[in-house]
Structure 1
Amino acid sequence: MSQAPITIRWGILATGGIAKTFTKDLLVDPTTRGVKHIKHTVVAAASSSSKPRAEEFLRETGCPSPAKAYGSYEEFVKDPDIDIVYVATPHSHHYQCAMLALEAGKNVLCEKAFTVNAAQAKALAAKAKEKNLFLMEAVWTRYFPLSVYVRDQITSGRIGPVARVLSDNSMAMDPERSFSDGKHRMVNPDLAGGALLDLGIYALTWVFQTLYHTQPESTRQPPKVLAALKSYGPTQHADETTTMVLNFPRSAEEGGDAHAVATTSIRVATAPGNHTDVPGIRIQGPKGEIQVFPPAFRPTKIRIILKDGTVEEKEWPQPGPGRGSGWYNGFGGDKNDEGEGHGMFWEADEAATALVEGRKEGKYESLAESILIMEVMDEVRRQGGLTYPEKIESTEFPVQL
């Protein structure tokens, strides 16, 4: 007789666009994607602006009627019914909000970029360890079946030891027009704005999950970094285009040093006009390459081209309630096809599974790896002269932002 699924009770901290997308995905029946050991529910949501805003969020996302609304994060984290908190604020506020939840004894799934700098990420990891709590960066793309497949192809040796990765995640956002007041999170220094932390994290995700994460844990080493950064003129202290060259040291037996180029921009696009027929990520080895098609954060198609002429194309449409359900999800004004999930449920499934199994971090990205990626972005900002206001970079807690 099969065991009944275990229900994990979520609290949603912040009520913006990413929180809506995540919550709608979260509430999709997990059996639609073949997951039977856990279920999700939402028991609370909090808005920093007002309780009515949290109430509206619960209605909009179809949360169960008993779910509670809070107009204060401080009151929200005291709710005894919450098993895990999803932190969905701008990344400028991740550290303060995640620390608030951890201090209150709550497990945490925190949106990417994990924090603003590595010092903050280390402080959160230390607090989670001190409190014996689960903590994970919500790099949702890592948990896609597509990503798992790509990593499996690499570790199986199908393309040989990865020699080079070219990775781009860029969008032509016309920032002067789209963000003309300079207050939008993409360009606002007070929100740690810029391409690197918001978009570049995905370019780095593909580099790290294919070129670092697939190496033996006992021998892999941090990369050396060379960066070029172009500041966004109207607001300064936010990058509009950033390019990183990374050298990953490896022994000769493992293929020798490997290179990666990760780039991101809010000025030009990986796929202009949403023409996604050109790969945004190319993972190359002596036996061939794996191509991943845009968008880097939500890919649904790959192509493998081998030296012997073999070409394999695979597609992974996102599951969900399906056609005829009348259900829709999406992000940023874009709507997916009817019944098609956005893909954020995979990371929720992993977090829930970790809680059931008693693990304290994610299976496909450890806290140590999240910290290392933050250290890389710190070095990129150092080379590019990009800093944020002191209160945003601070590891002090609490700090009023």
Structure 2
Amino acid sequence: MSQPKSVRWGIMATGGIAQTFTKDLLVDPKTRGVNDIVHLVTAAASSSSKASAEKFISSYVDGKQGDTKATAYGSYKELVQDPNVDIIYVATPHSHHYQNCRLALEHSKPILCEKALTVNADQAKILVEEAKKRNLFFMEAVWTRYFPLSIEIRKAIQDGKIGEVLKVSADLSIGAIPEDSFDVAHRMVNKDLAGGVLLDLGIYSLTWLFQTIYHTLPKEKRQAPKVVGALMTSEPRTGADEATTMLLDFPVSTPTGKSRTHGIATAALRTHFDHERDTEQATPAVRIFGDEGEIQVFGPIYRPSRYRITYTKKGDNKQPFEDKEHEFPGGIHGMSWEADEAARCFLAGKLESESMPWSESITIMETMDEVRKLGGLTYPETIETTKYPMDMKAKQPEHVQTVNRD
């Protein structure tokens, strides 16, 4: 058996999501059956201070990767200039992704960038063109897509297990009273940081619509959905969206394309997606309706561990339903699988991941642009702009993990 290949990561930002990603990154890949790659963290940077990066490395890297040491930086520019870094994981707030990714691409670094990829589709398109022009790998870090559970569900749809998919609904609502849970400066409700539920929570609801309708079709049959309705409720202190509902019309149904599919994606702060998530009475947060059955995914939809297939047309060998459960091996949180994909693509010389291609990331950003337009949600020009570079240091916090992704 050949030796696994090492991929050296640079971590941009040191907040909650960077911590979770790094812990997953350094879990032995063999615990999840991965034998071809090994992940190493060779650098980390904080925009606030070198000391913050040093603390991050001490807490999450040192002693977890043999003799390999990581270098701490007090600026992102120093990080992207490090020759010992193969690929950058961008863990900053999505308000700053465009500027941060442009910086990394400018210094010839491949990128795995957190979702939402950017603030708007124009920014996403420029990043894709920059990556293409520079022949660099670039991928949106939609971790949920790479779960074995998600892959299994997509295959069940493509295999026709529930017939033609005619409607999909997905909700991520976290049951947080914003006035009690978030200061007005917090990135969850701060419009200066592209705050609100659409880009932070709604991206997960849209992920389930896109991966089960759009992505399960052959590439040549995929068509962007039309946003036929959007409703937003504004957070009273800041004007960011605290609740968003989206109604999408996918013109080509899956798996055969003989119809069309309705998509309903919702996200909210004050309500909760599932009050009974740990009991037998739990209700599904994602429902994929076919004309011969239904797939029910139990929340939280960013990290689901179980789903059910029910059958309305029961053949001779079909039970009324099938329950499926998936564990997270080796104690991982779930981000390891997207890191494995990014590493393999990088090592193979690919520019994009087939499971999260550039065209789909752009289409999702275009969808969210239209939802914002219909809902009347705008952000400051400083974060909507495609101008580069912009001096945003004074406004750039470390990425804080808003949702308790347990």
TM range (shorter): over 0.9
Deviations 1:258-282 (A, max 9, x none): 1010000011110136546210000
Q: How far is 1:255 from its partner?
A: 2.6
Q: What is the aligned partner in structure 1 of residue 373 from structure 2?
A: 382
Q: How far is 1:358 from its partner?
A: 1.3
Deviations 1:332-362 (A, max 9, x none): xxxxxxxx21000000000001011111111
Please state whether the residue corresponding to 1:142 is helix, strand or coil.
helix
Q: What is the aligned partner in structure 2 of residue 305 from structure 1?
A: 310
Q: How far is 1:284 from its partner?
A: 0.8
Partner residue of 2:339 out of 343, 348, 371? 348
Residue 274 of structure 2 is aligned to residue 264 of structure 1? no
Is the CA contact 1:161–1:285 (under 8 Å) kept in the aligned structure 2? yes
Is the CA contact 1:350–1:363 (under 8 Å) kept in the aligned structure 2? no
Q: What is the aligned partner in structure 1 of residue 40 from structure 2?
A: 41
Q: What is the aligned partner in structure 2 of residue 128 from structure 1?
A: 131
Q: What is the aligned partner in structure 1 of residue 220 from structure 2?
A: 218
Q: What is the aligned partner in structure 1 of residue 296 from structure 2?
A: 291
**Structure 2: distance between partners of 1:115 and 1:198:** 11
Q: In structure 1, what residue type is equivalent to 2:16?
A: G
Q: What is the aligned partner in structure 2 of residue 157 from structure 1?
A: 160
Map residues 2-401 of structure 1 onto 2, 5 A cutoff.
Answer: 2-63=1-62, 64=65, 66-179=69-182, 181-225=183-227, 226-236=229-239, 238-250=240-252, 254-272=257-275, 274-275=277-278, 277-307=282-312, 308=314, 310-320=320-330, 340-401=331-392
Is the CA contact 1:281–1:293 (under 8 Å) kept in the aligned structure 2? yes
**Structure 1: distance between partners of 2:8 and 2:320:** 46
Please state whether the residue corresponding to 1:280 is helix, strand or coil.
strand
**Structure 1: distance between partners of 2:97 and 2:153:** 30
Normalising to structure 1: TM-score of the pair? 0.93
What count of residue pairs does the alignment treat as equivalent? 379
**Structure 1: distance between partners of 2:388 and 2:61:** 34
Q: What is the aligned partner in structure 1 of residue 400 from structure 2?
A: none
Deviations 1:135-156 (A, max 9, x none): 0000000000000000000001
Q: How far is 1:250 from its partner?
A: 2.3
Please state whether the residue corresponding to 1:254 is helix, strand or coil.
coil
Greater than 3 Å deviation, 4+ residue runs = 273-276
Q: How far is 1:385 from its partner?
A: 0.7
Q: Which structure 2 segments of 5+ residues have no match?
A: 393-406
**Structure 1: distance between partners of 2:5 and 2:135:** 21
Is the CA contact 2:189–2:196 (under 8 Å) kept in the aligned structure 1? yes
Q: What is the aligned partner in structure 1 of residue 401 from structure 2?
A: none
Q: Which moved more, 1:60-69 or 1:376-385?
A: 60-69
Q: How far is 1:163 from its partner?
A: 0.6
Q: How far is 1:317 from its partner?
A: 1.1
Q: How far is 1:310 from its partner?
A: 2.4
Deviations 1:188-235 (A, max 9, x none): 011100000000000000000000001121122111112111111111
**Structure 2: distance between partners of 1:100 and 1:393:** 17
**Structure 2: distance between partners of 1:365 and 1:255:** 25
Q: What is the aligned partner in structure 2 of residue 334 from structure 1?
A: none
Q: How far is 1:243 from its partner?
A: 0.4
Q: Which moved more, 1:209-218 or 1:42-51?
A: 209-218
Q: Which structure 1 segments of 5+ residues have no match?
A: 321-339
Q: In structure 2, what residue type is equivalent to 1:315?
A: E
Q: How far is 1:124 from its partner?
A: 0.4
Q: Which moved more, 1:267-276 or 1:33-42?
A: 267-276
**Structure 2: distance between partners of 1:184 and 1:271:** 25
CA RMSD of aligned residues (A): 1.3
Is the CA contact 1:172–1:272 (under 8 Å) kept in the aligned structure 2? no
Q: How far is 1:76 from its partner?
A: 1.1
Q: How far is 1:365 from its partner?
A: 1.2
Is the CA contact 2:46–2:75 (under 8 Å) kept in the aligned structure 1? yes
**Structure 1: distance between partners of 2:365 and 2:81:** 29
Q: Which moved more, 1:306-315 or 1:377-386?
A: 306-315
Q: How far is 1:161 from its partner?
A: 1.6
- What is the percent sequence identity of the aligned residues? 57
